[in-house]
Chain A
Amino acid sequence: MSRFTLDQEIRLVQDEMLLLGSLAEQAILNSVDALRRQDVAAARTIALEDKKINDKHFAIENHILIIFATQSPLARDLRLLAAMLEIITELERIGDYAKGIAKVAIRLADDETPVPIQEISTMADKATSMLHRALGAFISEDVTAAYAIPKEDDEVDALYITVYRKIVQNMIKNPESIDHTNQILWVIHNLERTADRVTNICERIIFIVSGELLELDSSDDEDQDV
């Protein structure tokens, strides 16, 4: 196979990956919007859209495997494709988080208990902005940005802790709100995890350029303390 075709194939995969990123980004924003507006119909659409994200994830994975099998890419091309294989998995997971938030939106649609929507919105905006810029750094192979973006995760973590304390206090004061609080906990957890996934994406960008695999943020841990 000629060099030209391999380049073209990689570009195609990259565009597909960016589209997957856009779907995941919008899914998170839409899910929080559905939660804010208590919009069951919008929340259900997100659950359906998640199927699209999963299908796209498989299609891209397939595409990459075919390239591996038929073109035996080497060096940088190999790193690029391997990184994309990893990144699409992260994006698919972010899609799942959106679906989780949408489910909460459906459950809380008739619940008049106030939701800390301001903080949740800010977390979602922050996390999706990080995601958007991380994929932008992927396109331009901007290592500086790849190191800088994960630092913003601290802001998302800080918001997570603020909301967490607020709602736990609320839970202690009003034990009957435990179920409601639990749902909100699920939402902020998903958003916090979204930002962590972005950190993983940034690690892959550094891997493409330098070939080094490194851990950017030690707080990227499922069972971190709050």
Chain B
Amino acid sequence: MKMRIHSRIAWPFILTLVLTLAIWLIAVPLLEKSAYQKALINGVPVDLSFVQNTAIVISLTGLIVGLSISLIYTNRYVDDLKTLTEAAKELGEGKNQEINLLPMQNSLREMGELREALQKTAHQIEDQINALSKERAMLSAVLRQMTDGVLIADSSGKVQLLNDAAEKLFMISEEEALGRSVVEVMRHHRLVELWEETRDGPAKTITMEMGAMHKFLQVVGIPLGEELPGRSMLLFQDLTQTHRLETIRRDFISNISHELRTPMAGLKAISETLLDGALEDRTVARNFVVRMDSEVDNLTQMVNELLELSRIEAGRFNFDYQRIEPYRLMQKPVERMVLQAERVNLTLSYDCPVDLPLVFADPERISQVFINLIHNAIKFTPNGGRIHVTAYQDGHMVVFKVSDTGVGIAEKDITRIFERFYKADRARSGGGTGLGLSICRHIVDAHGGKIWAESVENEGSDFYFSLPVVYGEN
């Protein structure tokens, strides 16, 4: 290839040289010879300078023409090469262009091949860059969207990467965290210890509770070793929710045992006393049996509520939905509870705007929700207090509100009161089964509504539940 390009550029020049040589070695001697012969025959003296001058002129002209042609060719090659070199340089700098369309002065095949080869390389580089950036975007999206926190630090303990979940966990933006020490970012001695151990040793997992937010974390430390020497990664899994569910389950089991044990113990005590001779005294015996009967009633109520709850929870409960006016939903249960409220010197009142749209509800079940809520309000409101029931529209929902002037609920309890057996204040909740609000929540959930509570301690509580408005009524 190299040789051929050289020969092509040089051929006009070489041809001229050969011709000149031929003129000097063959034509000139031949011409001179014929001139001598002429002179010998004719006896005329010969002027040889003519022949030599002609030869010189021809040679020089040939030489100049040949050189010019060579120069023109060479210049064209050099220009083309320059163009391609520029293109290659730009390719190296990441600027992509259509090399195929570059103007070429010489249609030499080799130059064309070089251009093709460059073009191919350019396409390959572009493809690779695209593939890499796609992969990078995908990995980065995975890293960002991961629910687990990720932190990567170098061997000196400077943070090099922090994903979204970790940003939230440590309440610091990645921008602020990059380049800071792991101590400054994580702010917890156990996490720093884990990082130190991971840097010098194998992967390790710990579980811990972090700070005043009481976040329950499982943290895995992984040395990145061969791929990224000296760096290590910490993975944070937030198990707060799982931990909470575990606590609920534990509480549930301990509560149900406790709730069952109390009436059971009562029954046992009564039956033992009866067996020990109380049976002989009819009045005392009768008294005991009455108490047994009421204990059994308590137990039965609890078991029934538990069964109902598990039926609702399992979704095996049939609701009898109707289109109904909100005031009709609240009127019956509230009037039923008025007497009970008056007995403990409380005012129970209700109002309901008449222009509220129809809702979709099972009146029997919703009446149960009202009774449970009002019953609670009566239990937790001191003498002379007020309980008020009302309703209003909020978008596609009608919200019912039962407010009291009672003792209120502590902030910590307010999210848990709808759990089974959860009693915020065991001393005051007395004989309740701890299932009422849980049942309410399930009934409202089944209606597609929501139930929640707001409260200020020692000032009172507001319980809300919402029911969906009948379509087209809004």
Tell which of B183-191, B285-293, B459-467 binds the partner. Answer: B183-191
Most buried by A among B188, B209, B212, B410: B212
What are 30 inter-chain pairs, A to B, with CB distance below 8 A?
A: A11-B181, A18-B183, A18-B184, A18-B187, A19-B192, A22-B188, A22-B192, A25-B211, A25-B212, A26-B189, A26-B190, A29-B209, A29-B212, A29-B214, A118-B412, A121-B412, A122-B412, A124-B212, A125-B212, A125-B214, A128-B211, A128-B212, A129-B211, A132-B187, A132-B212, A135-B187, A136-B187, A139-B180, A139-B184, A140-B176
Contacts of B410 in A (CB 8 A): 118
Q: Which of B187-222 contact A (CB under 8 A)?
A: 187-190, 192, 209, 211-214
Chain A residue nearest to B186 (CB atoms) is A22
Most buried by B among A18, A118, A124, A128: A18
**Bound: A22/B185 CA distance, A:** 12
**Bound: A29/B190 CA distance, A:** 14
Contacts of A107 in B (CB 8 A): none
- Known contacts A22-B188, A22-B189; is A15 also within 8 Å of B212 by CB? no
- Cβ of A205 under 8 Å from chain B: no
**Bound: A214/B192 CA distance, A:** 34
Chain A residue nearest to B185 (CB atoms) is A139
- Known contacts A19-B189, A22-B189, A118-B410; is A29 also within 8 Å of B184 by CB? no
Number of interface residues of B (CB under 8 A): 17
**Bound: A55/B329 CA distance, A:** 68
**Bound: A15/B213 CA distance, A:** 22
Number of interface residues of A (CB under 8 A): 24
Contacts of B188 in A (CB 8 A): 22, 26
Contact mask for chain A residues 113-132; partner B; CB cutoff 8 A; 1 contact, 0 none:
00000100110111011001
Chain A residue nearest to B183 (CB atoms) is A15
User: A11-B181, A25-B211, A29-B211 provided; 8 other pairs, C-beta below 8 A?
Assistant: A22-B189, A26-B190, A118-B410, A125-B212, A125-B214, A132-B187, A132-B211, A136-B187
Contact mask for chain B residues 14-47; partner A; CB cutoff 8 A; 1 contact, 0 none:
0000000000000000000000000000000000
Contact mask for chain B residues 331-366; partner A; CB cutoff 8 A; 1 contact, 0 none:
000000000000000000000000000000000000
Closest chain-B Cβ to A211's Cβ sits at a distance in Å of: 24
Closest chain-A Cβ to B193's Cβ sits at a distance in Å of: 9
Q: Chain B interface (Cβ within 8 Å of chain A)?
A: 176, 180-181, 183-184, 187-190, 192, 209, 211-214, 410, 412
Contacts of B214 in A (CB 8 A): 29, 125
- Cβ of A23 under 8 Å from chain B: yes
Chain B residue nearest to A138 (CB atoms) is B184
Closest chain-A Cβ to B217's Cβ sits at a distance in Å of: 13
Contacts of A125 in B (CB 8 A): 212, 214
Asked if B211 contacts A19 (CB within 8 A), the reply is: no
**Bound: A139/B180 CA distance, A:** 10
Contacts of B213 in A (CB 8 A): 129
Contacts of A15 in B (CB 8 A): 181, 183-184
Closest chain-A Cβ to B216's Cβ sits at a distance in Å of: 12
Most buried by A among B176, B184, B410: B184
**Bound: A136/B212 CA distance, A:** 14
Residue of A22, A118, A129, A140 touching B187 (CB-CB under 8 A): A22
- Known contacts A15-B184, A118-B412; is A126 also within 8 Å of B189 by CB? no
Chain A residue nearest to B413 (CB atoms) is A118
**Bound: A126/B214 CA distance, A:** 12
Chain B residue nearest to A56 (CB atoms) is B189
Chain B residue nearest to A20 (CB atoms) is B189
Contact mask for chain A residues 1-20; partner B; CB cutoff 8 A; 1 contact, 0 none:
00000000001001100110
Contacts of A121 in B (CB 8 A): 412
Chain A residue nearest to B180 (CB atoms) is A139
- Sorted nearest first, the 3 A-B pairs with minimum C-beta distance are A15-B183, A129-B212, A125-B212
Closest chain-A Cβ to B173's Cβ sits at a distance in Å of: 12
**Bound: A169/B262 CA distance, A:** 31
Chain A residue nearest to B171 (CB atoms) is A136
Asked if B189 contacts A23 (CB within 8 A), the reply is: yes
Contacts of B192 in A (CB 8 A): 19, 22
Contacts of B211 in A (CB 8 A): 25-26, 29, 128-129, 132
**Bound: A22/B170 CA distance, A:** 13
Asked if B212 contacts A19 (CB within 8 A), the reply is: no
**Bound: A21/B192 CA distance, A:** 13
**Bound: A29/B211 CA distance, A:** 7
Closest chain-B Cβ to A177's Cβ sits at a distance in Å of: 16
Contacts of B187 in A (CB 8 A): 18, 21-22, 132, 135-136
Contacts of B209 in A (CB 8 A): 29
Closest chain-B Cβ to A139's Cβ sits at a distance in Å of: 5
Contacts of A122 in B (CB 8 A): 412
Chain B residue nearest to A118 (CB atoms) is B410
Contacts of A129 in B (CB 8 A): 211-213
Residue of B176, B180, B183, B412 touching A19 (CB-CB under 8 A): B183
**Bound: A200/B183 CA distance, A:** 22
**Bound: A85/B27 CA distance, A:** 109
Asked if B183 contacts A126 (CB within 8 A), the reply is: no
Q: Which of A12-53 contact B (CB under 8 A)?
A: 14-15, 18-19, 21-23, 25-26, 29
Closest chain-B Cβ to A96's Cβ sits at a distance in Å of: 18
Contacts of B190 in A (CB 8 A): 26
Most buried by B among A15, A23, A126: A15
Contacts of B189 in A (CB 8 A): 19, 22-23, 26
Residue of B176, B180, B181, B212 touching A126 (CB-CB under 8 A): B212
Chain A residue nearest to B193 (CB atoms) is A19
